[in-house]
């Protein structure tokens, strides 16, 4: 489990099958937000549940909440051609 600040990552708008979503890039991997929590303890418990289920996620501290972000599978990154499109879609 990794806990980072939202100021440590760059946010992007990406087009997914669900529409335009905000993504972050961290350690060369693209992540999408899955859940928002008001307190750190709840976010850590959710992240631990993901880890117990064999999933990797990160906790990102926002201005007044904590978000769980899960990595986008490499197949989807390639399908969306994210490396080419991210520079055009940067929002911050």
Given a cut of 50, whether residue 12 has pLDDT beyond it is yes
pTM of the model: 0.76
What secondary structure letter does DSSP report for 7?
G
Per residue in 48-91, pLDDT (tens digit) is 998 899 888 999 998 899 999 999 877 777 776 655 455 445 44
- On whether the CB atoms of residues 69 and 25 are closer than 8 A, the answer is no
Q: Which fold has domain 2-89?
A: Phosphorylase Kinase; domain 1 (3.30.200)
Can you tell me the mean pLDDT for 17-25?
84
The whole-number average pLDDT for the span 13-25 is: 82
Under 8 Å CB-to-CB from 9, ≥6 apart: which residues?
Answer: 24, 25, 26, 60
Nearest to 28 by CA among 85, 77, 90: 77
Domain segments of the chain: what residues? Answer: 2-89
SS3 60: strand
């Amino acid at each position: 489990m990794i806990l980072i600040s939202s100021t440590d990552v760059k946010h992007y708008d990406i087009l997914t099958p669900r529409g335009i979503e905000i993504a972050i890039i961290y350690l060369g991997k693209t992540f999408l937000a899955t859940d928002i929590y008001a307190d750190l303890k709840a976010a850590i418990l959710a992240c631990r549940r993901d880890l117990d289920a064999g999933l990797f996620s990160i906790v990102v501290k926002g201005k007044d909440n904590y978000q769980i972000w899960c990595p986008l599978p490499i197949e989807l990154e390639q399908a969306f051609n994210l490396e080419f499109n991210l520079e055009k879609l940067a929002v911050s």
